[in-house]
Amino acid sequence: MRPVNLLPEQHRARASSGKAGGAYVVLGVLAALVVMLMVYALSANQVNSRKTDEAKVAQEAQRLEAQTASLNHFGDFAQVKQARLTSVRELAGGRFDWERFMRELSLVLPRGSWIKDVDASATGVAAASGPAAGQPSGQPSAKLTGCTPKQSETARLMVRLRRMHRVDDVALKESAQEAAGGAATLANCGKLYAFDLTVSFLAAPPEGAGESKRVPASLGGGS
Strand order in the sheet with 193-201: 114-121, 141-148, 193-201, 167-177
State the amino acid at position 82 in one-letter form: Q
222 confidence band (pLDDT: 50, 70, 90): very low
Lowest mean pLDDT among 75-79, 108-112, 200-204: 75-79
The dihedral of CA 175, 180, 182, 184: what is its sign? negative
114 forms beta bridges with 147
- Tell me the average pLDDT across 23-47: 84
Residue 47: what pLDDT?
Answer: 82
Residue 139: burial class (beta carbons within 10 Å; 0-12, 13-18, 19+): buried
Q: 96-148: per-residue pLDDT in tens?
A: 788 899 999 999 999 999 999 999 888 765 544 454 444 445 688 999 999 99
Give the residue among 139, 148, 152 at the shortest CA–CA distance from 194. 148
Mean pLDDT taken over the chain: 78
Best mean pLDDT range from 49-58, 118-127, 191-200 = 191-200
What's this model's pTM, rounded to 2 decimal places?
0.51
Of residues 219 and 123, which shows the higher confidence score?
Answer: 123
- Tell me the average pLDDT across 168-183: 86
Residue 148: what pLDDT?
Answer: 94
Of residues 135 and 78, which shows the higher confidence score?
Answer: 78
Nearest 5°: the CA angle 191, 159, 92 is 110
